[in-house]
Structure 1
């Protein structure tokens, strides 16, 4: 019973950060800036969901705030960037399709918590 209760609570405490962006890419300099922003997301543990949407699993709100702050510190001068946090439970309810075929959503890697 304890394990079921803990897992259920953890689905609401753990979060996914989704970063949406539309950056200018008209010039060589703008493409370099956009590429650098994507590289910083990858270096911080984000995975590409779609070309301009990246996501990252965080075990806690505190952890998600650390990564959100890093995004704020690396914002390019131009372009539109959105950051959204959703619970693991909400993420698990997402329906994904490739064409008409449903696809399983990514599962977070096993997280260890130390007390």
Structure 2
């Protein structure tokens, strides 16, 4: 089996209430925990991390579960490295500052490490 189909990524997507100062602190604490654990932001409230193996994914999932605040909604999705590499990240217009090396009208595919 090729390495790209054995190595694993974990994507965490969450939606948490931020109506009160306490809820905002809890969301910030969770987001910072993800960043300390090595997750990179893919989109708003969506983070991804290379785990290497299914055992590392299971361990990472346990740590995320323990760090989740009492309220909110979260999805954890496992991808093989080959599947992660085929994800297309597209943005156009004024959503982000355009890269001078890339035509603004052309879709851009980003690959993380």
TM-score by length of 1: 0.82
Task: Determine the structure 2 residue equivalent to 1:37.
Answer: 30
Residues 1:56 and 2:56 aligned together: no
Q: What secondary structure, in the 3-state scheme, does the structure 1 residue paired with 2:25 have?
A: helix
Residues 1:101 and 2:106 aligned together: yes
Residues 1:18 and 2:23 aligned together: no
RMSD (CA atoms): 1.3
Task: Determine the structure 1 residue equivalent to 2:101.
Answer: none
Q: What secondary structure, in the 3-state scheme, does the structure 1 residue paired with 2:107 have?
A: strand
* More strand per residue: 1
Moved more, 45-54 or 92-101: 92-101
* More helix per residue: 1
TM-score by length of 2: 0.83
- Paired residue total: 101
Q: What secondary structure, in the 3-state scheme, does the structure 2 residue paired with 1:96 have?
A: coil
